[in-house]
Amino acid sequence: MDTKELLKRIRRLEIKAKGLTKHIFSGEYHSAFKGTGMAFSEVRDYHLGDDVRTIDWNVTARFNAPHVKVFDEERELNLMLIIDVSGSSDFGSSKKTKKDLALELAAVLSFSALSNNDKVGAIFISNQVEKYIAPEKGKKHALYILREFIKLKPMSKGTDIKQGLKFFRNTQKKRSIAFLISDFIDEDFLEELKMSRKKHDMIAIRLIDEAEREILDMGLVQLYNSETGITTWVNSKSAHFRSAQKEKFTHQEEKLFYDFQKSGIDYTSISTSEDFIKPLIKLFQNR
């Protein structure tokens, strides 16, 4: 992708993400992710209905009239995007790949953080950490994250979510909101996720493609594993084969949902063929 096309794509992402953030996600994001505490703002006259526990008795005595303390939410949150960029992220049977969907989610989440004056950073992972961008504020930084995501050419096609989570914990000493965005075609990462959950607010978003759930009858076809490079011939005409694949996918989905729920981790799955707005809003509202 040349520089001109890269800038055009980033501009389109910015316009779409800003529009969604302004009209939909900004308020939902703010409600879903509270600040770290309350900070004193000012003292004002007591109004009927004010909580009596907020009365400032010193000021009240001085002016011989009731006054209350006003507090504002202390935000200053860190939003970290932990994004799986392994070989399987390039898969997509509709108009977009999993990577395209992850990019759109990253744009909306980044601008939601930006509109709430929060910092945002990113960790791109395969079976190693491909790139780390420390959290900062500002539009320029949000666009930098998107640009680096688009330009990124991963060194590896494999997946090891554990490595990414370890790196996340080692670099983020301050409590953060972390979105782990992946298709979760991996094993043995749950314990690392639980460890991260002890200090950070972890949210998991699984990216799926309907062709993984429902294999069409296309006769004898060659399947290519983009992470291992192995190709396999299968008979998709076989109803038994298609049924077995669908059952396997459903079992994986149910297991992930159970494991995340048991671990206290908010979770949703989003398909490359659907609008991500509704599932993302539902995720925020459920918090």
CB atoms < 10 A from the CB of 228, how many?
10
* Residue 39 pLDDT greater than 60, yes or no: no
What's the token pair of residue 11? Answer: 């501009």
Q: Return the bridge partners of 72, or none.
A: 39
* Residue 45 pLDDT greater than 60, yes or no: yes
* Residue 121 and residue 136 in contact, taking contact as beta carbons nearer than 8 Å: yes
HEC states along 221-255?
A: EEEECCCCCCEEEEECCCHHHHHHHHHHHHHHHHH
* Residue 102 and residue 181 in contact, taking contact as beta carbons nearer than 8 Å: yes
pLDDT on residue 106: 94
- Place 242 in a pLDDT band, splitting at 50, 70 and 90: confident
Q: In whole angstroms, what is the distance from residue 100 CA to residue 280 CA?
A: 16
**Same structural domain for residues 94 and 190?**
yes
Report DSSP state, residue 21: I
pLDDT on residue 121: 97
Output the domain CATH number for residue 225.
3.40.50.410
**Same structural domain for residues 64 and 87?**
no
Q: Which residue carries 């554990």 as its tokens?
A: 162
How many domains are there within the chain?
Answer: 2
pLDDT on residue 186: 92
* Residue 123 and residue 82 in contact, taking contact as beta carbons nearer than 8 Å: yes
**Same structural domain for residues 24 and 110?**
yes
**Same structural domain for residues 67 and 163?**
no
* Residue 145 and residue 104 in contact, taking contact as beta carbons nearer than 8 Å: no
Mean pLDDT in residue range 102-127: 92
Query: What is each CA distance from 146 to 30, 143, 197, in whole angstroms?
Result: 22, 5, 26
Pick the more confident residue, 19 or 75: 19
CB atoms < 10 A from the CB of 152, how many?
14
Structural domain boundaries, residue 43: 37-74
**Same structural domain for residues 173 and 223?**
yes
**Same structural domain for residues 230 and 177?**
yes
What's the token pair of residue 164? Answer: 């990414």
**Same structural domain for residues 49 and 175?**
no
The interaxial angle of helices 139-151 and 3-20, nearest 10 deg, is 130
**Same structural domain for residues 183 and 227?**
yes
**Same structural domain for residues 59 and 91?**
no
**Same structural domain for residues 58 and 168?**
no
Report DSSP state, residue 23: I
Percent of the chain past pLDDT 90, that is, above it, reads 45
pLDDT on residue 233: 82
CA neighbor of 176 nearest in space, from 135, 209, 146: 135
